[in-house]
């Protein structure tokens, strides 16, 4: 144990929000408290970034006609994606892949222009700017779950068309349409898992040791309680669960 470790309740909350975050597609009407929205955007702003370049920009969509135009772009790409999925096309068409018209807040996350001047950490991996934006989105996502709000990341759109719609400067690039809002409930598991699209990979398939494909010597999986408490602190603690997040 290290002296830098957070208190037990704080640690449990962090792991819980990671497990229970969901890619949300179903929203309940209602505005988001401006103070809460500000906290979420602050969480995004404190994300790590390669070379401290902070390449993320968030565009808040408050114009209803612009929201509808973004929705039209996404629906067009949903159909293109379905057609590209071949024998699974009808499965794709049955999926609910966005909640753009229902969510309380709509944000577009974009890469800023002028990224080429940032070389530290990107000389051989220029795509690290996109990874940095993804970190900011994840911060926002986890903070939203902690606030009891759902968020969905939509990536079905033609970037050039969305960039033109939002008047992005040359070199900037949209990477995500983010639906944020109130929900009746959070999915008990990832929605794509519920509908049978795919399943979560076990650690044995995703963690290697000293080279690709060499199984890592991992300790046996530990089942954590949803409301984990130090032993003896709370009688009648919940049965341990081995569920994982989205």
Please, what is the average pLDDT of the chain? Answer: 91
152: β partners: 179
Average pLDDT over residues 106-110: 98
pLDDT digits (tens, 9 = 90+) for 42-81: 999 999 999 999 999 999 999 999 999 999 999 999 999 9
CATH topology of domain 22-194: NADH Oxidase (3.40.109)
pLDDT digits (tens, 9 = 90+) for 205-222: 999 999 999 989 888 765
Report pLDDT for 221.
Answer: 63
Distances (CA, A) of 31 to 27, 28, 104, 124, 149: 11, 10, 5, 43, 11
pLDDT digits (tens, 9 = 90+) for 32-43: 999 999 999 999
Average pLDDT over residues 141-161: 98
pLDDT at 238 over 90: no
**pTM (two decimals):** 0.88
């Amino acid at each position: 144990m290290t002296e830098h470790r957070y208190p037990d309740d704080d640690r449990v909350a962090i792991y819980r929000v990671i497990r229970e975050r969901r890619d949300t597609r179903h929203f309940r009407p209602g505005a988001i408290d401006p103070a809460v929205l500000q906290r979420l955007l602050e969480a995004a702003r404190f994300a790590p970034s390669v070379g401290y370049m902070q390449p993320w920009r968030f565009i808040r969509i408050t114009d209803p006609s612009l929201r509808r135009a973004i929705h039209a772009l996404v629906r067009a790409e949903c159909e293109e994606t379905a057609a590209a999925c071949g024998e699974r096309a009808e499965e794709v068409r049955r999926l609910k892949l966005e909640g753009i018209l229902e969510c309380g807040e709509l944000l577009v996350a974009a890469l800023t222009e002028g990224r080429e001047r940032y070389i530290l950490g990107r000389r051989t991996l220029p795509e690290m700017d996109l990874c940095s934006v993804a970190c900011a989105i994840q911060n926002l996502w986890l903070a939203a779950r902690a606030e009891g709000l759902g968020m969905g990341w939509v990536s079905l759109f033609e970037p050039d068309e969305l960039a033109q719609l939002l008047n992005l400067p040359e070199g900037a690039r949209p990477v995500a349409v983010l639906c944020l809002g109130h929900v009746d409930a959070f999915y008990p598991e990832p929605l794509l898992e519920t509908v049978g699209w795919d399943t979560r990979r076990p650690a044995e398939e995703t963690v290697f040791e000293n080279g690709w494909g060499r199984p890592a010597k991992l300790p046996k999986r530990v089942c954590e309680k949803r409301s984990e408490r130090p032993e003896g602190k709370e009688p009648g603690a919940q049965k341990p669960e081995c569920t994982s997040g989205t």
